[in-house]
Amino acid sequence: MDKTKQSRLEAAGWRVGDTADFLELTSEEAAFIELKLALADYLRDMRVQHGWTQTHVARTLGSSQSRVAKMESADASVTVDLLVKSLLTLGASRKQVGQVIARAA
Amino acid sequence: MDKTKQSRLEAAGWRVGDTADFLELTSEEAAFIELKLALADYLRDMRVQHGWTQTHVARTLGSSQSRVAKMESADASVTVDLLVKSLLTLGASRKQVGQVIARAA
DNA sequence: TGACAGTATGTCGTATCTGACATAGTCTCG
DNA sequence: CGAGACTATGTCAGATACGACATACTGTCA
């Protein structure tokens, strides 16, 4: 398994041990997590491209800097709901969101 | 505004009064709700096409018939998280989910 | 009509998520 | 180095969503 992806999954709050342990994730679970990571990445890209700070984005969303940080790292305490709502609020279109999700892993 | 859509939004737990009231929804909120409705519709289509009952689907998901009914009606107590997880569990691909979301209203 | 399968709606205790705060880490300047 | 801007991580009380159950509605078939 890809090292970078592994640490990202761990960072997201999912324990990753040896290969057998990892494979305890069903394919749906894995797909769901990757989907979440894709949205998180897109949120960060959007923010950085606009030259915004996490604090600025937090204000726009009516949230806090720490939650924005957790969103961008796809923390386990962040839902797809929150990510999608945030992206839409920051100006992404429904179509863009769908494309991010549909994009192959 | 389209009558059918209006009743669907009401059913989803959103108050819809006159036009002014309706426009209190920001465009992001509206986009989010439509996105949810699209996923809900897709879940129902998937179930019906397979000839499954809500109870059968509930068992597959480890949930209950009532929650499946609420999912299909995009009830306000249902999150996009739950809809996406459910679709993936029922066999939809991440790509399909994305396409459903990206599809223009 | 009544019985039955399926779906919808309302409620509730528990589990999970959220914004907020504190604090720690990481850069980049001077 | 030290200060300041930005980001990451941990924690928590209050808010929200979850599965479950009860019950109501809707069809269909005899």
| pLDDT tens-digit series, residues B66-91 | 999 999 999 999 999 999 999 999 99
For residue A61, the chain B residue with the least C-alpha distance is B28
Which residues, other chains included, contact A8 with Cβ-Cβ below 8 Å and sequence gap of 6+?
Answer: A37, A73, A74
Contact B12, B80 (CB under 8 A): no
* A46 φψ region: left (φ > 0), alpha (ψ -120 to 50), beta (else): alpha
Three-class SS of A67-103: HHHHHHCCCCCCCHHHHHHHHHHCCCCHHHHHHHHHC
The CA distance from A32 to A94, in Å, is: 18
Rg over alpha carbons for chain B, rounded to the nearest Å, is: 14
Residue of A81, A97, A105 with shortest CB distance to B81: A81
Taking the model in full, what pTM does it have? 0.86
| pLDDT tens-digit series, residues A40-91 | 999 999 999 999 999 999 999 999 999 999 999 999 999 999 999 999 999 9
Provide the shortest C-alpha distance from residue A16 to chain B (in Å): 21
Structure tokens at B14: 């959103």
